[in-house]
Amino acid sequence: MSAYSGHLAPYACDDSRSQGRQYAEDSPNYRNEFQRDRDRIIHSAAFRRLEYKTQVFVNHEGDLFRTRLTHSLEVAQIARSIARELKLHEDLCEAVALSHDLGHTPFGHAGQTALNACMKDYGGFEHNLQSLRVVDKLEQKYAEFPGLNLCYETREGILKHCSVKNARLLGEVAQRFLNNQQPSLEAQCTDLSDETAYNNHDVDDGLRYGLIQLDDMKNIELFRKQYDIVNKKYPGLHHRKLIHEVIRRMINVMVVDLIDTSRSNIEQAKPQSVDDVRKQDKPLMAFSPQMTELKQELKQFLRRNLYQHYRVHRMTLKAENIIKSLFDAFLNDPRLLPPEAYQHCMALENDDSDEGRVRGIADYIAGMTDRFAIIEYERVFNPRQLSIANLIP
């Protein structure tokens, strides 16, 4: 039993009965195993880089928009509220929330699409798998193991999706994708918190940036309902306050719906252990059918009006060019890589995988922040950077 075990439901992940780490370690003092995971994530280089990675908008477009870092913090906040209410393990939810986006490329989904296209003959690129790769292999800071050596439960939560082909390569952590099992409730909770966070903050950022308009949002039921409530209660409220009052209520109704629906699913299925949760036909954490429909309407609206907005699309095109140009240049001539990245590629070349050093190039590019990718592009391709000053490190 750990100090935390008494607060947990029988179906929660118990830190004192974790399936363990890849490299055995003594238990920490005064922290539980999942707290240690969370702390290792916060101290990782990949976590610090989230500050300068795009969510939807390119990082330097404005200081007020969400970045991957603030997004991850919002996911953690939502997941922890839900976890506490359902007596799930809050620290595990937090660890998964803070690490779920570590594998994202620069420039958000545009970057991921571009890098995946570049890697199509070399096993592809998927940010979710990359997040696991970051915590399992790429962070290099501990004397006794590669990566962060996180608990099975945290790694299970990071790996949200996985193809059958990749699941066979990944082994135990991906086993559920082969035998159609569910992840822990903490993993499910964090996954749905992710969605709740971005559906709402993208509305906020989109309105702030003028890509979507308040009048259009009023056609979306989830928004309109809360808008009417706020407007009635506070007539003539300042635009910014109005939007915040609506969005905080939208988050709240989604979270309440998620808690109520999941609680009733749990009561029906009566899981007595995490293994019972894993054996269910479908996830027990879920939104109600009505909320699922409302969410669908909002998502569709955001896809059409925000994610495909011409101003976002222009950035997408530039981002794709940067990623593709860098990838091709490094592939054709790996000596263009800085020494650490070059050595990483050469070490993989001697691996038995057929992706070899190409995977190392993807690791290097995926690890870049938006601004680093832009600077690196300038360094490699801009003839004005030919000055002698650039030869001095």
Gyration radius of the chain's alpha carbons: 22
* CB closest to Mg ion, residue no: 194
Q: Which is nearer to Mg ion, 101 or 202 (CB)?
A: 101
Q: Judged by CB, which is closer to Mg ion: 91, or 194?
A: 194
- Picking from 365, 331, 325, the residue whose alpha carbon sits closest to that of residue 349 is 331
Residue 92: strand, helix, or coil: helix
What is the closest distance, in whole angstroms, from the C-beta atom of residue 334 to Mg ion in the complex? 32
Q: Which is nearer to Mg ion, 69 or 170 (CB)?
A: 69
Instruction: Give me the amino acid identity at 146.
Output: P
Q: Which two tokens stand for residue 332?
A: 């054709």
What is the smallest separation between the CB atom of 52 and Mg ion, expressed in angstroms?
16
CB atoms within 10 A of CB 213: 11
Q: How far is the CB of 195 from Mg ion (least distance, A)?
A: 8
Cα 29–Cα 137–Cα 143 angle in degrees, nearest 5: 50
Q: How many residues does the chain have?
A: 393
Structural contact between residues 68 and 101, judged by C-beta atoms closer than 8 angstroms: yes
Shorter beta-carbon distance to Mg ion: residue 41 or 326:
41
Instruction: Please tell me the distance from the alpha carbon of residue 303 to that of residue 295, in angstroms, as a whole number.
Output: 12
Q: How far is the CB of 366 from Mg ion (least distance, A)?
A: 15
The nearest distance, CB 191 to Mg ion, in angstroms, is 9
C-alpha angle 382-383-388 in degrees, rounded to nearest 5: 110
CA distance 155 to 133: 10
CA 258 – CA 188 distance, rounded (Å)? 11
Minimum gap (Å) between residue 324 Cβ and Mg ion: 24
For residues 40 and 150, the answer to whether their CB atoms sit within 8 Å is yes
CB nearer to Mg ion: give 97 or 319. 97
Closest CB 114 distance from Mg ion, rounded Å: 19
**Residues 50 to 109 in contact with Mg ion, rule: CB under 5 A:** 101
Q: How far apart are CA 241 and CA 243, in angstroms?
A: 5
In whole angstroms, the minimum distance from the beta carbon of 71 to Mg ion comes to: 6
Site for Mg ion in 98-127 (CB under 5 A): 101
Touching Mg ion, residues 161-220 (CB under 5 A): 194
Q: Which is nearer to Mg ion, 18 or 55 (CB)?
A: 55
For Mg ion, the closer of residues 101 and 245 by Cβ is 101
Kindly state the smallest distance separating residue 78's Cβ from Mg ion, in Å: 11
The single-letter DSSP state of residue 23 is S
HEC-encoded secondary structure of 143-168: CCCCCCCCEHHHHHHHCCCCCHHHHH
Place of tokens 């969005």: 247
How many residues bind Mg ion (CB under 5 A)? The answer is 2
Nearer to Mg ion, 92 or 341 (CB): 92
Q: How far is the CB of 104 from Mg ion (least distance, A)?
A: 8
Task: Check residue 64 and give left, alpha or beta (phi > 0: left; psi -120 to 50: alpha).
Answer: alpha
Residue among 258 and 358 whose Cβ is closer to Mg ion? 258
Residue showing tokens 């290097």:
364
Q: State which residue, 76 or 174, has the beta carbon closest to Mg ion.
A: 76
Here the contacts of 307-312 (C-beta below 8 Å, separation 24 or greater) are 307/56, 307/109, 309/211, 309/212, 311/211, 312/56, 312/57, 312/211
Binding site for Mg ion (CB under 5 A): 101, 194
